[in-house]
Structure formats: structure tokens, C-alpha cells
Structure 1
Amino acid sequence: MIEFVMDNIPTFLALIATGIFAGILAGLLGVGGGIVIVPVLFFLFQGFGVSPESAMLVATATSLATIVPTSISSIRSHKEKGNVDFDLLKRWAAFIFIGVLVGSWLVTRVDGTWLTVLFGVIATLSALNMLFRTGKSALFQQLPGKAGQGVMGTSIGFFSSMVGIGGGTISVPLLTLYNYPAHKAVGTAAAIGLIISLPGALTMLVMGETPIDAPTGTFGLVNLIGFICIVPLTVKFAPVGASLAAKLDAAKLKKVFAVVLLITGIRMLAQVFLA
């Protein structure tokens, strides 16, 4: 065990740094950890000799696994403030779950290149939304009918599970487009994150075939070393980020993060199309 740790010290240190970074950003800016963890792991694993295709598959599954405990912690916090809309969750849960099952099953079957493209597109659109839509009025006055909400829930589950994010990246801007209160959107997104991450991570753990060049400690498509290193630090450092948010200009920092995310999304797309 000691020899294993000594041989993998750079990996452990990089994963620990990822957990700290994701936790602080989650608390500071209110962004989901997945939008940070996936690209960091994607580039990190490649630095250790993993192919881009395998790196994206393992990064996606590992990110979803880390979201399970962090979303539970987040749900408790938002529930205490009354910001979790359980009526909406009851209407959406089955649709989200179906989207997750289809999306996570596809992850175990497709080439990681397609996931890299999808993440690059979602990251780029998310960054542009942060940069240009902040504070803008809603496009619609209320949520659509049952069928429309079903499509929304299924889409959130499908796309979020395919790129390893908890749902807040997609669900919060989507809900606020429909004049849904922002604080409730964020709180409800934490619960949506659990509905996405638990079945998604389990599907990729059980049904995923471990790539030949996967990083050490990968089972199915989930890197358990990454999970063990990232989770406690993300949970521990999220309150640190929240404290910093009270002292710093979070709006300006969110713009900076959006620019970094935009660059990251474009870089991931460039790696696929310009390689």
C-alpha cells in the first residue's frame, strides 16, 4: 500500500488539488463541481499517458460519482432554507431518471471523442450564458405544460449524465428562462443532481468496460482513487468558497470563471477538430 502511494504521489496531489479547487468554486460561484471536475480530470489523465478518448470516459463517470455525496450535502443546506421545490421534483423525477439511464448507457457504448465534443459545446454555451445573460429578464412567464416539462426533465438527465455534470449547469439557466425564481432553481438543481449522479455513476461503474489505458484504480469507468481524493475536499472547501463569496465580488469572479470555462470548452473542441 505504501509503495502504491509513493509510486502515485503526483496523481494523488493532482486529485487533491482538483477537490479543493472544485469545492472552493462551488461555494464561491454557485457552480456545480462537475463543470470543473470533468475538464480538470480530462486534461490531468492525459498528462499521465491516458488517451483523450479514455480520459473523457473516465472523467465523466468519476465526476458523476463525486456528485452523489456532495449533492446530498447541498440538498440539506438548501432544504433548510426552503429552496428545494419538491413539487417540481415529483413531476420531473421519472423523466430525469429515464434521460439518465439512456445517457449513461450511451456513455458505456460511445467513443469518448463524442463526449468531449458534447462537453465542449455545453461548457461554451454555459460560459456565454454566464457572460451575457446575467440579470436579463425571463423569456417566458411560466413553465410549459406537462409534456414540455417532461421534455425538459428528460433532456436535463440525458445531457448531464453524458458529460458528467450534476444538472445545475443546464437546469438553472433553463428554469430561469421560464421566470422561475433563481434561488429555488439553484436549490432544486442540487436535488436534480442526486437523481442524475447516483443512477448515472452506478450504470457506468457496472456496465462500463474499463479502457486498457485507464488510470490506476479505475473500475468500470469510475476512477475510485479520484473519487476518494476529491469528495472529502470538495465538501470541506465548499463552505470556504461560500465565506469568500461574502468578502469578494462574486459577480466579477463569475465573469472570470466564465471566460476560463469558455477557453476550456473551445480548447476541448479544438483538441478534437484540430488534432
Structure 2
Amino acid sequence: MPVGLDVSALLLIMAALLVAGCAIGFCAGFFGIGGGAISVPVFFEVYRLTGNVDDIAMPLAVGTSLAMIIPTSYLSAREHARLGTLDLAVLRTWLLPILVGVICGSVLAGFADAELFQLVFVVVGGVMSTRMLFGGNSQQIKDTLPGRGLLSAYGLGIGLLSALMGIGGGALSTMILTLYGRTIHQAISTSAGVGLLIAVPGAIGYVIAGWGNPELPADAMGYVSLLTLMVVMPAAIMTTRLGARAAHTRSRAQLSRYFGLFLLTVALRFLVAIVFGV
């Protein structure tokens, strides 16, 4: 940490990271997401406050967020599997396409404008959240999952967009699965596993991309902050199971509304980032 920060500022940063960790863990369990929509902006502001320039703060925030998603997604998926709603067949189908999508997205991130993909999420997430909040079951386009080819294409798209937008893919996969007749409980449970499929190669990629960069903080391993993980991970791990269990105490209609509100919040967050650059 830079010398310019006094004790009160450091305590405030620690408190913010602990609160973020609790929120990341609970949301990972409750919504089947990795928590990137929460952790990336929080980590970014923390790294800026501690003296890192934006060109370092942003990839460090995304890389650390992806590393954070690994344990929370694993714990969330394991808890949902114990409760009997994790669809391993879908995860097996998506394993390779998502990996290919993440690799392609990581390559494209150096050339494509991430704001374009955030705008896609704003539109799609806004429409889906509105239909979940006000449209009952009308958001379904089919009662069964598509064939392996189309399902694999969806997996490729999830991996690609997640890598470009710096998110864990849970929101995207839940939207797709509910469109094809999966209950919200099944979709959220399976999406917890999707976060793990995306986070592992994503975090490794960010470690490699930042390896040896002299501008990184001393605690960083590539674009992953080990100090941040040490502070945030225990809080996140503590609340992940609570979130998963809470999801299974809610009715399908309640969980659909909560997820609709979550989608709307993330879409608005991306919209603010596009319009104001923050």
C-alpha cells in the first residue's frame, strides 16, 4: 500500500473489501453467479485509491475477480449439487465450448471495444429482467433444451462474452437455461458450475498476461492480487453456502423476481459504465 494512506483510510478499504466479500459469496450461492458485477468495480476503486493507474487497476480488478470466482463457484455448485438441482449434463456439453470462448474472448479483448458487449448485455439483460419481473413464464421460447450443436454454440457465446465483459457468465447462462424451460432453481444451480468453467482459465490467463509487469503491486501474481484474495476470500466462502440454501427456500416466482432485479441492476451498472466511463 502507498505511504500516503493513513490508518483510517486503510481500515475503510479493509471494511469495503470485507463487505464486498460477503456480498460476492452470498450472490454466488443465491444467483449462481461469480460476483464479478460486484467485485470488479469495488476492486477497481480500491486499487485506484492505493495508487495504481487505471491501466493497471482495471486488469488487476478483473483478474483478481476471476480468481475470487473459483472458490465461490465451486462451493456454490457443490451446495446446489447436494440439493439436487445441478445439471451436470449441461456442464459437460459446455466444458469445451466455454473454454474456447474464453480463449477467443481473451484474444479479442485486445482489439474489440468491451463497451459494445456491455451494451449487448444492457439490452438483453434489460429485456429479460422486464419479462421476469412482469411477464410470468412468457420468457420461455421452448420447453426443452436445444440440441447439442446449438447448446454448444450458446456455451461458446457465454465464454466469449464473459471474457470480454469481465464477468463469470452466470447471468448469461441462467438467462439461456430459463429461455429453454429450465426452472429458475435448476438454471441458477447449473450456472454456479459455469462460473467455475470460466474462472479457472480466465484467472490463469490474467496471471500470465501480467507476469513480470514492474508496475504491479508487490503482492500481485500477474494480474491477481494475493492480498485482496486473503482479505476477501474468507468472507466470501463464509456466505456462499448461506446464499445457496436461501435460494432453495424461495418459490420459483420469488426467485425469478429476485433474479430479474439482479439482471436489471447489472444492466444499469454496465449502462452507467458506458455513458459515464465509471
Percent of aligned pairs with the same amino acid = 30
Change (3 A) 1:5 1:202: farther
**1:78 counterpart residue number:** 80
**2:101 counterpart residue number:** 99
1:95-116 CA-to-partner distances (Å, cap 9, x unmatched) read 1111122223444x458xx335
Change (3 A) 1:259 1:151: closer
CA contact (8 A) 2:33 2:168 kept: no
Aligned residues: 269
> What one-letter code is carried by the residue in structure 2 that aligns with 1:269?
I
In structure 2, C-alpha distance between the alignment counterparts of 1:19 and 1:12, rounded to whole Å? 10
**1:19 counterpart residue number:** 21
CA contact (8 A) 1:209 1:221 kept: yes
1:264 aligns with 2:269: yes
Segments of 5+ residues of structure 1 without an aligned counterpart are none
CA contact (8 A) 2:105 2:161 kept: yes
CA contact (8 A) 1:85 1:184 kept: yes
In structure 1, C-alpha distance between the alignment counterparts of 2:213 and 2:268, rounded to whole Å? 28
CA contact (8 A) 1:96 1:157 kept: yes
Q: CA deviation at 1:174?
A: 0.9
In structure 1, C-alpha distance between the alignment counterparts of 2:272 and 2:170, rounded to whole Å? 22
Q: CA deviation at 1:142?
A: 2.8
**2:114 counterpart residue number:** 115
Q: CA deviation at 1:253?
A: 5.8
Q: CA deviation at 1:127?
A: 5.0
Change (3 A) 1:46 1:263: farther
**2:48 counterpart residue number:** 46
CA contact (8 A) 2:34 2:72 kept: no
Q: CA deviation at 1:207?
A: 2.8
In structure 1, C-alpha distance between the alignment counterparts of 2:143 and 2:87, rounded to whole Å? 18
Change (3 A) 1:83 1:237: same
Q: CA deviation at 1:243?
A: 7.1
CA contact (8 A) 1:121 1:269 kept: no
Q: CA deviation at 1:83?
A: 1.5
Aligned to 2:168, the other structure's residue is in SS state coil
**2:192 counterpart residue number:** 190
Give TM-score, length-normalised by structure 1.
0.80
Change (3 A) 1:89 1:244: closer
Change (3 A) 1:37 1:56: same
**1:66 counterpart residue number:** 68
CA RMSD of aligned residues (A): 3.5
